[in-house]
Amino acid sequence: MTASEQEIITLRHEILDELRAILVERLRVPLPPAQIDPDVVLFGSGLGLDSVDAVDLAVEIERRRRVRVGDTPESRQALRTLGTLAQAVLDHALETRDAEPAGAKLQFAADDPSPLARDCEALRRRVALVSEPELRRVRVQGPAAFDLIDRLSSRDVFIRSGQILHTLFMDPQGHAWADVHAAADDDDFVLFVEGPTQAELCEFLRDAITPGEAVEIVDLEATHACLDLSGPFAWELMERLVGPEVLGIPYLNFFDVPELGGLAFRMGKTGEYAYQLLVPRAQAGPAGQRLRELGEAFDLREVDSRAIDLCAIEAGFFCAREPALRGLSPLELQLQCRISDAREVPGMAALRAARARGEPARQIRWFVAAQAQAPTAGAALWRDGAQVGEVLLAHRSAAVGAHVGVALLDRESSEPGLALADASGQPLLTTAVAPLVRSLSLYVDPQRHTYATREADGLLELV
């Protein structure tokens, strides 16, 4: 390790600690500073900050560090996670004020024949439609529906009807068993779940029901189809379908879509605008056809679920469908924002015991690998003559123009910007701050921009 590298790491930790103090003391984030992970998402499904918090945060950063965080696309990119914000402040402290904003510019090659590359390009630049995404779905209904969800959710269930809670279900060992979006629908809950199979999910929920409890688990996969509409101009397609009122629907909320005979849930993990449409199976055919007709004006492309998963990794989200990430705890996955310590739910005792032992010893970290061959899952990673972790997963990203993935690293080496090698010293990858790409959705203003004028507006040049 060079001295300059150590100085940068030390300064980055000072900045992270200062930002954590602002979040807790000024913005009243209900977590101890040590439990605010370095790559936690600041808004929406992460810490849940809002626009008022953004103003307070910007004022404090400018007062303490003389760094101006304004209402610009670059600032919105910097405010994506705690890590991207720390990097922006670090760049300023190192007098690299002209540094590029977090995330690489999109590198899609026009002659790339890969269907997955074309799928991801549609999702990143236009509108993509996934018929039957790999989302398990159930309705929990009955007078005791809230009690059941409250017994299982890793975080407090403080949501009103029409809102969505992004939470976890854990196993008794404290592993993140399921990634859950729980939507409150009056007294019922609609769950969208990644990780387990549909049968495993239904069994898990039914086993948690106490004898005589008035609650029912309804398998929605049997009765309802799901359509995933994602992309920087998905909002514009939905506006044509529903009307301008769709622009006022906040993230992690849902609403009726009479035109399709179903519900639209504003949620996703790609960093782009996204809607999960839940419609009765009898309406699925006409609903899909209507979306395709409207989608012609946006060059809509029907894509595979793998595109959603790859874009989620590029954006720095937990992808529970990746087998390599199963069996890790929220501490290792940097998901402590989804944990409420005082809760008595499955797995929480194991997490408290792990913290008491000083865990996690390792945490995940995103990476970019430029060599032609992708790093192999399970490959050992070395730095300064010591093994510091292993590769969990790696995929070719046409958006980044390189392989991207996730590694599990010793906490001391879970820093962005570090070059890691194999046992022979051959370079393998460079750790990075997520998101790894710039999301066009951060630059799109629905009040000013449209798909038809995207080039004239200069949007494509920004990403």
Do 278 and 136 share a structural domain?
yes
Report yes or no on 106 lying in a domain: no
Do 87 and 118 share a structural domain?
no
Report yes or no on 447 lying in a domain: no
pLDDT, position 460? 78
Pick the last residue of a domain from 305, 335, 358: 358
pLDDT at 183 over 60: yes
Do 220 and 334 share a structural domain?
yes
Overall number of domains in the chain: 2
pLDDT, position 280? 97
Do 254 and 306 share a structural domain?
yes
pLDDT, position 1? 44
Confidence tier at 5 by pLDDT (50, 70, 90): confident
Report yes or no on 73 lying in a domain: yes
| 9-20 mean pLDDT | 92
pLDDT, position 98? 47
The predicted model scores a pTM of 0.93
pLDDT, position 185? 97
Pick the last residue of a domain from 339, 358, 377: 358
Confidence tier at 251 by pLDDT (50, 70, 90): very high
pLDDT, position 102? 57
Confidence tier at 72 by pLDDT (50, 70, 90): confident
pLDDT, position 69? 80
Do 53 and 137 share a structural domain?
no
Do 87 and 117 share a structural domain?
no
Report yes or no on 328 lying in a domain: yes
Which of helix, strand or coil describes residue 154?
Answer: coil
The span from the CA of 159 to the CA of 182, in Å, is: 9
How much of the chain, in percent, has pLDDT values that exceed 90? 79
pLDDT, position 459? 86
Do 156 and 53 share a structural domain?
no
Q: pLDDT by residue (tens digit) across 76-100?
A: 888 889 999 999 888 888 875 445 5
Report yes or no on 108 lying in a domain: no
Report yes or no on 295 lying in a domain: yes
| 130-142 mean pLDDT | 95
Would you tell me how many other CB atoms lie within 10 Å of the CB of residue 158? Answer: 9
pLDDT, position 226? 97
Confidence tier at 51 by pLDDT (50, 70, 90): confident
Q: pLDDT by residue (tens digit) across 342-385?
A: 999 999 999 999 999 999 999 999 999 998 889 999 999 999 99
Do 87 and 125 share a structural domain?
no
Do 228 and 85 share a structural domain?
no
Question: Kind and range of the H or E element at 169?
Answer: strand 164-170
DSSP for 364-402, please give it. EEEEEE-SSSPPPTT-EEEETTEEEEEEEEEEEETTTTE
Which CATH number belongs to the domain containing residue 281 in this structure? 3.30.1360.120
Enumerate the β-bridge partners of residue 404.
368, 395
DSSP for 248-267, please give it. GPPTTEEEEETTTTEEEEE-
Domain limits for position 45:
3-93
Do 304 and 202 share a structural domain?
yes
Lowest mean pLDDT among 70-84, 289-303, 311-325: 70-84
* Average pLDDT of the chain, as a whole number: 92
